[in-house]
Each structure stands twice: as C-alpha cells, then as structure tokens.
Structure 1
Amino acid sequence: MPIDAALALAAEPRTGEIAWDHKDVQLYHLGIGAGTPATDPDELRYTLESRLHVLPSFATVAGAGSPGVIGGLSMPGVDVDLAKVLHGGQALTVHRPIPVQGRATATARIAAVYDKVKAAVLVMRTEVTDADGPLWTNDAQIFVRGEGGWGGDRGPSVGLEPPAGEPDRTVERPVREDQALLYRLSGDWNPLHADPEFAKLAGFERPILHGLCTYGMTLKAVVDTLLGGDVNRVRSYATRFAGVVYPGETLRIRMWRQDSAAAPAAPAAAAAVRVAVSAVDRDDAPVLADTVVEHT
C-alpha cells in the first residue's frame, strides 16, 4: 500500500524556518484577484505597501507554501501519484494578526489518515510560531484517489446543515484566464494548474484553478462585504472543496450571517459567516461547501 498510515502518523514532525515580506503579500493578493479597480482605496489596502494589511488566508502560502499539500506527499509512509491527488479541504486558525513582514518556524506533521474506501485522506497540520508565540495553524486535507480500502478509520463524514433562508449577501467574482498562472507564483507549482497535458492525465479537460486560490478569493469577498474590510476580525476559516473552477469562469459567493452559537470553536465574542460558492458558468455547480468564517 503506497500509504502506510501507522508510519505516517508516527513520523517525526518536520520543522523549518519560513520568511515573507510585503512583496510576497502583494503577489498573493494579486493572485486572488485584488487590485480591481486599481485605484480603489479598498483595493489599495491589498496592493500598496504603504497601506498594506494581510488577508489571513495568506498563511496558506507564506514561506512559498511550505510544507503545504506537496510537502505532505513527501512525508514518511506516503508514496502516491501526484495525478491522483486533490486538495479536499482547508482549515485555518489565526492566533494573531499576520505581520506584513515576518520570520517564523513552521512545524508540520500528518495529524490523521482516513480510509474512505475508494480514496485516502491525509490531514497535514502545520503550526507556525514566531518570537512572540503562535501565529497560525493550518490543516490541509489531501484527497488521494484509489488509495483507500485497507480497513482504517473512516474519519468524519457528516457535512454541515445547509444555511437556512436567503443569503444576506451574494456577490460575483470573475476568475481571470491567467489567474492560476499568477497564483502559482506564490509557491504551488503543481502542473495540474498550468500544463494542459498533465490536466488531461488527471481527468480534467484543461488546467484548473488552485482550490486555495478560490479559498482566498472567497475570504476576501467575506471580509470586504460583511466585515468592513477589517482582516483582523477573522479568527478561523474552514472549507471543503466540492468542485473545480476553470480559469475564465465566474464565482457566485453567497453569505449568511450567523450568531455566536454557530461558531463554537471561536472565542465567546465571535460570530460566523456561512458561505457557499458555485460556478456561475456551469449552472451554479458547487465549488466550496461547508464553509465557515469565524470572526469577532
């Protein structure tokens, strides 16, 4: 079996130093569609170094995305074909606002291995700290087709109940034709997002957008629309990648406000926004599901 669950879970964590500065933050923001209109004061907060603040989802690429999804595939006990790999979900907890420039220590390990019979799911946990303490924790759920069926723990399988009623806000965000090519410069070099031949081998008609690009676009929409543009209000952000996005399509982002009872993992003062994202061009095909942004 290419995945040895016991070996993967018992492996020593990998620790390394990561660093970033304003150029990395600006490139990430541009990669998720910031900067349109270019002179809009609200957009300049994402693109101009003298006004810059950091969208928390930058944590998924800080230090060139290391170790991230690809790093998880090189851990002991894991030997899989990259063409069978999909990013199944992402969960981020922000412990403090992310500085525009920083140096930190990232510690990564396989936190869980689930047997979904027709696939395996690896949970790659990365904890990042700097001289002042914890900064953020990332959990990447890595879905590996064809690698299940060894009788292991099935793991959680129950999704969230759909939000009730009409959304409080609905916005649409276009995905540029070159968006995946720009986003990958932040550190995710998987050829699935750039090479047409590789995409076909993986079962797609053409290269697809990074799930984490959609993840960032969605958080930016929530912050800009419901959180007054204040990135520091975000406490955690989790999603399940329910479908693909092709560059050139348009995302429809529906948002529902929730009270603090809907955000049990967050501080008592927190509330939440439930989000559903779909592809307008394909009859609202689901893209992100079970999505929650917890905030103050």
Structure 2
Amino acid sequence: MPINPVHLLARPFREIEHAYSQRDSQLYALGVGLGADPLDAGQLSYVYEGRDGQLLRAMPTMANVLAYPGFWAREPDTGITWQKLLHAEQEVHIHAPLPTSGHVKGATRITGLWDKGEGKGALLQQTREITDAETGQLLATVVQLSLLRGDGGFGEGGSVGAPPAPHVMPEGEPDYVCELTTPAQLALIYRLSGDLNPLHADPSVAASAGFARPILHGMALMGVAAHAVLRAVLAYDATHFMGMRVRFTGPAWPGDTLRTEMWVRGSTVSLRVTAVERGVMVLNNAWVDLT
C-alpha cells in the first residue's frame, strides 16, 4: 500500500523525555573518536571530567542522540517501506551550549515530504526540537532528511516547493586538512549512545545488506567530521560551533582513516570527508556554522 502523504505529514509523535549523565556525554565523545590521543588536552576535555568535575564539555553533535524518537518509520501506520529507507542528510543547530548532564525533552514532527516520482522514491524531512525539561529553554534543533526509495509516485498531497538544495562547495585547495584514524571498534562504542541497529555490529546482518563488514553509523561519521573541525579550526572550543549539515555519500567503515578537507569562508566551514584507504568520499556538501 502506498504512503498517504496527508496522513504522514500530520502524524503525531509522542514527546520523548531523556535524562542523561556526564558518563553519557563521555561515552558519546568516545564513540566519535575523541580521546584517541591521551596527551591531547583538547580531546580530553570531552572525555575526562577532571579532578573537580568542571572540565568536561559536551560535543555539539551529541544533540543527534538526545531525546531520539527511535526508528518510527517501521510503525505500520506510516505506510513507509522502511527496508528501503536511506539516511540522506543530517543537520543540527545549537541554540544554547549542551549541558554535560541534564534532563531534556524532544518534540518531533514531519516538516517535509517530496515525491520524486514512481520508481524514484520520495524525500522525507523530520525535525526535532530539544528543550531543557526544567526551564523550557530550546537547546538544539535536529533535522533529518531520508530517502524513501520504495515510496515514490504518491502524487499530490506532499509538501509545496523543493527539498533543501545541496550546499555548494568552494573551489580551490582546502584551508585545512585533518586526518583521523578511527578504531576498529568505533561502531560498537557509538551504538551504546542509543542506535542499536545490528547493521553496525553484526557481520551477518551487514552481509545480508550487501556490506563486507559492519559499517559506521552515519551520525557517528558526522561526529568524526565535527571533531576534525573542532581540532583544525576551533582548537577544541565548541562554544563557537553553532550548527552543522552533512550529506552522506558513501559508507564509512570502523578502522577507516577519515580525511576531512575544510574551506573557511567567513563564518562557514565547508567540508567533505574521504575514507583514505578505500578512496571513497563518505561525506560531501557539508558545512559547519560558526559564531
């Protein structure tokens, strides 16, 4: 049965409450590769609380895992052919520094649905606002764009206008290049922050999906790219990191050396990421917004 675009755009979501600790913030940072150099004070500030407990910082991209509604596309009422869903883009906007521990609420809604045509799929955009559960302060907005490969051709009833256009990359040589080698167990660490999809842990599941081995989570890859920007451009000072958008262009493997090329133009860092050993571009048309 094809999806009903009017029904899907109006679908209600349960508000998610999420209490998390400093340990969760440290585990997230470890899951995107921070702490690989135990002598680097910049990296340690995201994984080590210090003697007085005041040194720890939260990675801005941790917003991706806060008050996450889960893989709701599998629910029967959506009509989505979830087996053919592909995570295409991810975007996060930081409105206030993320606490290293806290109690937050997440309100999700569908904010876009565009038909690409019969046999071509559809694009679905969901937006989640994360607020402090005690004060109501808006902390972050997370936007996810998914390609519904099996659900195109529904015709009228979708969103007006066009889906978000890809970020245009600058020409010329990058201003910064940062290579980060990911440990082979990175996906096994990242999944402990809440994304338990066996594709990232079980070799047999990965093989059934056509992969030679478990692949890295897309949002873990996004976190590695954010780490590269923090390292190369911001000297690990996340207070200037206001937002990020990435487009996934290929699977990354745990153990890959990931080369992030960065172009700084005003308050925007454009970037792309290549898995060095395999010569595969895994992120492109990406940007980080700075203050």
| TM score, norm. by length of structure 1 | 0.88
Which residue pairs with 1:293 in the alignment? 288
Quote the offset at 1:30 in angstroms.
Answer: 0.3
Aligned-residue sequence identity (percent) comes to 38
Quote the offset at 1:73 in angstroms.
Answer: 4.2
Correspondence 1:43 to 2:47:
no
Task: Please say if residues 259 and 273 of structure 2, whose CA atoms lie closer than 8 Å, have aligned partners that are also in contact.
Answer: yes
Task: Please say if residues 234 and 293 of structure 1, whose CA atoms lie closer than 8 Å, have aligned partners that are also in contact.
Answer: yes
- Superposed CA deviations along residues 218-239 of structure 1, whole A, max 9, x for unmatched, are 1111012101211111111111
Instruction: Please give the secondary structure, in 2, of the residue aligned with 1:281.
Output: coil
Q: 2:124 aligns with which of 122, 126, 139?
A: 122
Task: Please say if residues 112 and 126 of structure 2, whose CA atoms lie closer than 8 Å, have aligned partners that are also in contact.
Answer: yes
Q: 1:193 aligns with which of 171, 192, 200?
A: 200
Quote the offset at 1:212 in angstroms.
Answer: 0.4
Instruction: Please give the secondary structure, in 2, of the residue aligned with 1:243.
Output: coil
Which residue pairs with 1:278 in the alignment? 274
Task: Please say if residues 196 and 207 of structure 1, whose CA atoms lie closer than 8 Å, have aligned partners that are also in contact.
Answer: yes
Correspondence 1:148 to 2:165:
no
Residues 201, 155 of structure 1: alpha-carbon distance in 2 compared, 3 angstrom cutoff = farther
Instruction: Please give the secondary structure, in 1, of the residue aligned with 2:229.
Output: helix
CA RMSD, aligned part only? 1.9
Correspondence 1:58 to 2:62:
yes
Quote the offset at 1:277 in angstroms.
Answer: 0.7
Q: Distance in 1 between matches of 2:141 and 2:76?
A: 18
Quote the offset at 1:170 in angstroms.
Answer: 0.5
Q: Distance in 1 between matches of 2:74 and 2:46?
A: 32
Which residue pairs with 1:235 in the alignment? 242
Q: Distance in 1 between matches of 2:76 and 2:170?
A: 37
In structure 2, list runs of 5 or more residues that go unmatched.
none
Which residue pairs with 2:191 in the alignment? 184
Quote the offset at 1:76 in angstroms.
Answer: 4.1
Q: Map of 1:255-270 to 2, 5 A cutoff?
A: 255-259=262-266
Task: Please say if residues 114 and 121 of structure 1, whose CA atoms lie closer than 8 Å, have aligned partners that are also in contact.
Answer: yes
Which residue pairs with 2:85 in the alignment? 85
Quote the offset at 1:72 in angstroms.
Answer: 4.6
Quote the offset at 1:59 in angstroms.
Answer: 0.5
Residues 157, 135 of structure 1: alpha-carbon distance in 2 compared, 3 angstrom cutoff = closer
Q: 1:213 aligns with which of 186, 208, 220?
A: 220
Task: Please say if residues 81 and 150 of structure 2, whose CA atoms lie closer than 8 Å, have aligned partners that are also in contact.
Answer: no
- Superposed CA deviations along residues 8-28 of structure 1, whole A, max 9, x for unmatched, are 111224312112110110000
Q: Distance in 2 between matches of 1:52 and 1:126?
A: 25
Quote the offset at 1:79 in angstroms.
Answer: 3.6
Task: Please say if residues 235 and 293 of structure 1, whose CA atoms lie closer than 8 Å, have aligned partners that are also in contact.
Answer: yes
Instruction: Please give the secondary structure, in 1, of the residue aligned with 2:15.
Output: strand
Quote the offset at 1:145 in angstroms.
Answer: 2.2
Q: Distance in 1 between matches of 2:100 and 2:76?
A: 30
State the AA in 2 paired with 1:182: I
Q: Distance in 2 between matches of 1:273 and 1:280?
A: 21
Once the two structures are overlaid, the 10-residue window that deviates more, 140-149 or 128-137, is: 140-149
Instruction: Please give the secondary structure, in 2, of the residue aligned with 1:282.
Output: coil
Correspondence 1:175 to 2:176:
no
Residues 157, 53 of structure 1: alpha-carbon distance in 2 compared, 3 angstrom cutoff = closer
Q: Distance in 1 between matches of 2:12 and 2:264?
A: 41
State the AA in 2 paired with 1:188: D
Quote the offset at 1:2 in angstroms.
Answer: 4.6
Residues 186, 78 of structure 1: alpha-carbon distance in 2 compared, 3 angstrom cutoff = farther
State the AA in 2 paired with 1:26: Q
State the AA in 2 paired with 1:187: G
Alignment coverage as a number of residue pairs: 280
